[in-house]
Amino acid sequence: MFNSFKIGTAFGIPIRIHWTFVVMILVLMMRVPGSNTDFLLAVGVLLTCVLLHELGHSLVARRFGIRVIDITFWPLGGMARMSQIPESSKVEGLVAIAGPAVNFVLAAVGVVALILFGPQAGGTFDRYAQTFVFWNLGLGIFNLVPAFPMDGGRILRAFFARNHDWLRATEMAVSVGRLCAGMMFAASLAWMMSGGEGICLLPLIPLFIWVAGGRELLVVRLRHAQMHFGQPFGSHPGQPESQTGRQPNGSQPEFGQPPEVSHGQGSGFSDADIRTLEQFRGRMRPPD
Ligand SMILES: [Zn+2]
């Protein structure tokens, strides 16, 4: 990803850090009381939990033949970029739930460690293990908020898609997501105005949900509009390659990128394409 740099590879997936994340850590290091070593240790553990969450999504996605381009850390968390996810409620639901599931498993491991080793190990171990459990529970629960395109919102779209077409399911999930975003925005402003710790990133999360949800809805609308031209794009698993919008070299259009418009058999739109377009947009040719 542009403006990010690679820090390693996990399961063949490049792990990257966006420059804004580095700036955020440096600013927090200057503001947070206590030693920088403790702070960096805490950041390292939190990053590992987020990375495992993203690897959960990525490895399940791979099982369904989805290509994982990279995982990038940025100020609002981690993000696994993937090629087109098929319009299948089963695939989307399983990929989305895998991330929070990893955090709940990690939290359970922390609880078991506390029970087994807590009594002998003493205060410091207890404190770190409790923080580990708390963070993982927090990550798992927060990501399940039904605010599309967060994991909970994707699970909700998968649920809606059982009884509606993909576009309608996306519209419904984005509407619920924006309702959640509105409530989160109001709550974060109230928190900051009531003298809560000035976490200036807090209102950015609902803004991101609002913008990213709308962007993804636009991509789905474009893809479905394209279906009017006889080339269903990245639609159903199991379809022949030639009908899924994959590129001739086998690579798929990247997640979040609008598809290329069909140009009919040869170069330019066919008469049938133009007739279809005209139904939506009015006359597009000069009169004969
Ligand atoms: Zn996730």
Full DSSP string of 159-192: HHTTTS-HHHHHHHHHHHHHHHHHHHHHHHHHHH
Q: How confident is the model at residue 33 (pLDDT cuts 50, 70, 90)?
A: confident
- Summarised one tens digit per residue, pLDDT across range 69-93 is 999 998 888 899 988 778 999 999 9
52 alpha carbon – ligand 1 mean position (Å): 10
112 alpha carbon – ligand 1 mean position (Å): 24
Average pLDDT (114-135) is 84
Asked if 158 and 93 touch (Cβ cutoff 8 Å), the reply is: yes
195 alpha carbon – ligand 1 mean position (Å): 30
- Pair type for strands 4-10 and 77-82: unpaired
Determine the pLDDT at residue 287.
Answer: 57
48 alpha carbon – ligand 1 mean position (Å): 14
Asked if 259 and 222 touch (Cβ cutoff 8 Å), the reply is: yes
Average pLDDT (110-116) is 91
How far is Cα 274 from Cα 272, in angstroms, rounded to an integer?
A: 5
Checking if the pLDDT of 117 tops 90, the result is no
% residues pLDDT > 90 (the chain):
43
Determine the pLDDT at residue 95.
Answer: 95
Residues with catalytic roles: 54
Which residues, chain by chain, have CB under 5 Å from ion ligand 1?
Answer: 99, 143, 151
For the chain, the average pLDDT equals 80
Checking if the pLDDT of 260 tops 50, the result is no
Checking if the pLDDT of 257 tops 70, the result is no
Measured between alpha carbons, how far is residue 238 from residues 148, 161, 233, 235, 287 in Å?
A: 26, 18, 13, 9, 43
143 alpha carbon – ligand 1 mean position (Å): 6
71 alpha carbon – ligand 1 mean position (Å): 11
- Summarised one tens digit per residue, pLDDT across range 36-61 is 787 888 888 888 999 999 999 999 99
**Residues ≥6 apart with Cβ < 8 Å to 102:** 52, 53, 55, 56
Cβ atoms within 10 A of the Cβ of 283, count? 9
Average pLDDT (226-240) is 51
Total-model pTM: 0.74
How far is Cα 216 from Cα 239, in angstroms, rounded to an integer?
A: 23
Q: Could you tell me which residue, 229 or 40, shows the higher pLDDT?
A: 40
- Summarised one tens digit per residue, pLDDT across range 269-285 is 667 766 666 665 455 55
% residues pLDDT > 70 (the chain):
76
Q: How confident is the model at residue 243 (pLDDT cuts 50, 70, 90)?
A: very low
Domain boundaries, the chain: 1-144, 146-288
